[in-house]
Amino acid sequence: MNKVASSNPPKHKPAAKGHRASGARPFVFLNVAIGADGKIATANRVVSSFGSARDKKHLLELRARADAVMAGANTVNSGRITLGPGPRRYRRLRVRLGLAEYNLRIVVSRSGTVDPEAEVFRHRFSPVVVLTTRSANTERLEQLRRAGAIVRICGLRTINFREALCWLRKEWRVRRLLCEGGGELNDALFRAGLVDEVHLTVCPKIIGGRRAPTLADGTGVAHLTASTRLRLSSARPNKEEMFLLYRVVAPKR
Ligand SMILES: NC(=O)c1ccc[n+]([C@@H]2O[C@H](COP(=O)([O-])OP(=O)(O)OC[C@H]3O[C@@H](n4cnc5c(N)ncnc54)[C@H](OP(=O)(O)O)[C@@H]3O)[C@@H](O)[C@H]2O)c1
């Protein structure tokens, strides 16, 4: 049976001063829909949503179990993405599970290219945190602040994701973080050893294209020994799609 609904769901606010640093990071789970060839969008980036209605429901069910939902700048710039919890029944589910009605939203943008006019900033239901670096354009960061974002510098030229995640845990009490791509962000998290679980929907499409993004792009690893090893936890076919859940073998805590 589900947990009893709380009449006072928690709200997002930074932890009070004096809140103890735990040094722990949130549990990180990734969700991605791929074509049968591993692509996550077309090469021209026009199409990136090709899952069934069941897959969209799956995404909202996963968001309903996350304190925060995170995406890279290109993903946020590429469409009408709010990173929010969606319809009321998912918000109710969140409250029943003891989470805030609306999840915290996180955008990763090394140089600040994320568009302040992007859909994610047009909806004020929960804070949007932009994780960035000192090398980002300061005027762009100011525009993002004016758009309502909370800007957090997490490194000089590259984002120190471990530090960023520990900060999210400590300052925003993020225990479960859902990452929704794209490929460059996913790759950085895999290389840092910070992913615990991968939810993969394999869709019955071949998208192709050398320049089409895949589940993990970025720089990748040079040797197989450095690759992220996965263990299959479940495989559920649904019509033509396959819903896979992999657990990462020995993620870094
Ligand atoms: N099928 C699916 O499930 C799915 C899911 C998500 C996305 N997509 C699609 O995938 C495409 C986007 O993927 P993508 O790989 O091009 O982009 P992405 O990972 O969404 O965003 C890349 C941008 O995010 C920032 N970023 C990523 N990794 C970073 C790091 N380690 N440190 C600092 N900043 C970092 C940088 O922003 P700055 O340029 O500002 O420095 C970088 O240019 C879109 O077409 C999207 O629609 C599909």
pTM of the model: 0.93
pLDDT digits (tens, 9 = 90+) for 104-121: 999 999 999 999 999 999
pLDDT band at 21 (very low <50, low <70, confident <90, very high): very low
Give the pLDDT confidence score for residue 95 in this predicted structure: 98
Ligand 1 in contact with 130 (CB < 6 A)? no
CB of 31 within 6 A of ligand 1: the answer is no
What is the SS3 assignment for the chain? CCCCCCCCCCCCCCCCCCCCCCCCCCEEEEEEEEECCCECCCCCCCCCCCCCHHHHHHHHHHHCCCCEEEEEHHHHHCCCCCCCCCCHHHHHHHHHCCCCCCCEEEEECCCCCCCCCCHHHHCCCCCEEEEECCCCCHHHHHHHHHCCCEEEECCCCCCCHHHHHHHHHHHHCCCEEEECCCHHHHHHHHHCCCCCEEEEEEECCCCCCCCCCECCCCCCCCCHHHCCCEEEEEEEEECCEEEEEEEECCCCC
Cα-to-centroid distance, 116 and ligand 1 (Å): 16
**CB of 115 closer than 6 angstroms to any ligand 1 atom:** no
Token pair 């019509």: residue: 239
Rounded Cα distance between 182 and 213, Å, is 8
- Report the residue count for the chain: 253
- Ligand 1 mutation pick, 184, 210, 214, 219, max ligand atoms within 8 A of CB: 184
Residue with the smallest CA separation from ligand 1 atom 13 is 182
pLDDT grade for 2, boundaries at 50, 70 and 90: very low
**Pocket of ligand 1 contains residue 35 by CB under 6 Å:** no
Query: Mean pLDDT lowest for which of 40-49, 148-157, 175-184?
Result: 40-49
pLDDT confidence band for 4 (50 / 70 / 90):
very low
Diameter of the chain measured on Cα atoms: 52
Q: How many Å lie between the centroid of ligand 1 and the Cα of residue 216? A: 10
Confidence of residue 48 (pLDDT cuts 50, 70, 90): confident
| Residue-level pLDDT at 80 | 84
**Ligand 1, atom 37: closest residue by C-alpha:** 109
Distance of CA 174 to the CA centre of its chain: 12
- pLDDT > 60? residue 153: yes
For 179-235, write each residue's pLDDT tens digit.
Answer: 999 999 999 999 999 999 999 999 999 999 999 999 999 999 999 999 999 999 999
Helix 53-63 / helix 88-96 crossing angle, nearest 10 deg: 40
* Residue 237: both structure tokens together: 């076919």
**Residue 19's pLDDT is what?**
43
Predicted confidence at residue 6, as pLDDT, reads 39
Q: Is 216 in the pocket of ligand 1 (CB under 6 A)?
A: no
| Ligand 1 centroid, distance to 147 Cα (angstroms) | 20
Average pLDDT over residues 5-30: 64
Alpha-carbon separation of residue 163 from 25, 54, 249 (angstroms): 8, 35, 22
Q: Output the pLDDT for position 29.
A: 98
Name residue, tokens 């004096």. Answer: 18
In the chain, % of residues over pLDDT 70: 91
Q: How far apart are CA 209 and CA 211, in angstroms?
A: 5
Mean pLDDT in residue range 76-88:
94
pLDDT at 13: 65
Average model confidence (pLDDT) across the chain? 92
How many whole angstroms from 16 Cα to the centroid of ligand 1?
32
Ligand 1, residue 217: give the atom nearest the CA: 15
Residue nearest to atom 1 of ligand 1 (CA): 40
CB 85 within 8 Å of CB 126: no
Whether the per-residue pLDDT at 50 is higher than 80: the answer is yes
